Structure 1
Amino acid sequence: MNNDLACDLDLADQLLILLREEAGGCSEYQLIQRLKTHHSTHVPNLPLTDRLVLFRTHFLVFNALYRLRDRLWGERSGHLQIGALHIQLLPYQAGVAALSEHDPLRDYYLDMSNLRDTSEEDVEKLLTSFWTRMQGGEEKRAALELLGLDGGTQRLDLAVIKRRYRQLVSEHHPDRGGSTTRLQSLNLAMEILERYYS
């Protein structure tokens, strides 16, 4: 693919092109960086260190992802898995992910007034609320359990966690008869724990 995404394409179409190139999926951050590399005019080409810029970029990307997911589902041409840490385009499978279920996140991101009406102060409150919930540790606890580091008395730091992660990746790698799904779960757990222990 050339270095520029067609400017006349909607952001959802640009994301579809990028996700088709990432068979194993990718993170939102990777998608944003690829959009910037390909000179997309739909996301601000500003550093993500400014919280309001970060929020607006995130909102625009997730708005486009939910629109794309709805479209693919309607066309029966694919299923878009949208997660906080992993986004992946999958083949369409009837009945696997019915869009009829109420999805408050979808509602939030498809309501453009949430983009327009969110101030820098609102973003600060959202981030504080998010990190307060995360400190509750459900995500962290689940990631530690997956790596088998949840019940020991051993002092945990990033070096210990990485050592255990590498050991499990070696055991469960598909090239050694392991499961791709298990490997993806280990990668996700490591991504989560790096946030807590870096």
Structure 2
Amino acid sequence: MNDDLEPEMDLAEQIFVLLREQPDGCSEYELIQQLKARHSTHIPNLPLLDKLVLFRTHFLVFNALYRLRDQLWGETSHTVHISPLCVQLQPYVPGLSGIVENDPLRDYYLDLTNLRDTDEAEVERLLASFWSRMRGDHQGDRNEIWDPEQKRAALELFELDQEAASLSLHTIKRRYRQLVSIHHPDRGGSTTRLQSINLAMEILQRYYR
């Protein structure tokens, strides 16, 4: 569907429209691409390779998702599963659906000062923390199969579609070289970002070797 989203809708309402069209859900990256394709004016229409653009886009989408979930819980109509790897509209289930007390992620994304006050150094720290968690306890065992969520996160960092028929190790390596060229510190890039790209490549080589 290529119809533009209604500009008078806020971002949460636009996301609700998209999620209703996709009962099986989608990844955060796919959701962002759909918002751009449908000409949403609520997120930056810029490539996600710049770390501040990536953070700002991610924050705005998650802020809207948590606002949408709160609204739908209040209406007892739906709930929203919120994860970078799967965003999905789900039926409201009395007794199971409800705002969880002391939800630090919800508190973080609903506080817009975190969007305003997060600078480049903090974004670097967040990226390093994310990939440290993705590495988990597997880094010492080269023969162990990695979790599929790691594969999806790595492909999303590379902005590659895992369902594409053309996806191969050759394609991944070509994209890896492009990203290294863009983000190498010798060319003004970020060391932490380059480390993230290298780890993503390490993960993907396990699946596409």
Deviation of 1:124 (Å): 0.6
Deviation of 1:192 (Å): 2.4
Identity %: 58
Deviation of 1:83 (Å): 1.5
Pick from 151, 154, 169 the counterpart of residue 193 of structure 1: 151
Q: Per-residue CA shift, 1:172-194, capped at 9, x if unaligned?
A: xxxxxxxxxxxxxxxxx534235
Deviation of 1:75 (Å): 0.4
Question: What is the alpha-carbon distance in structure 2 between the residues aligned to residue 91 and residue 132 of structure 1?
Answer: 34
> 1:60 maps to what in 2?
60
Deviation of 1:154 (Å): 9.1
How is 1:11-160 mapped onto 2 (pairs within 5 angstroms)? Answer: 11-137=11-137, 155=143
Q: CA RMSD in A?
A: 2.2
Paired AA for residue 39 in structure 2? H
Structure 2: which 5+ residue stretches go unaligned?
155-199, 205-209
8 Å contact 2:29–2:84 — kept in the other structure?
no
TM-score of the superposition, structure 1-length normalised?
0.72
Question: What is the alpha-carbon distance in structure 2 between the residues aligned to residue 124 and residue 107 of structure 1?
Answer: 21
Paired AA for residue 9 in structure 1? M
Question: What is the alpha-carbon distance in structure 1 between the residues aligned to residue 10 and residue 96 of structure 2?
Answer: 27
- Which SS does the other structure have where 1:85 is aligned? coil
Question: What is the alpha-carbon distance in structure 2 between the residues aligned to residue 2 and residue 133 of structure 1?
Answer: 36
Equivalenced residue count is 155
Structure 1: which 5+ residue stretches go unaligned?
142-152, 162-188
Question: What is the alpha-carbon distance in structure 1 between the residues aligned to residue 143 and residue 125 of structure 2?
Answer: 32
TM-score of the superposition, structure 2-length normalised?
0.68
Question: What is the alpha-carbon distance in structure 1 between the residues aligned to residue 107 and residue 142 of structure 2?
Answer: 43
Deviation of 1:14 (Å): 0.1
Q: Per-residue CA shift, 1:27-60, capped at 9, x if unaligned?
A: 0000000000000000000000000000000000
Paired AA for residue 113 in structure 1? T
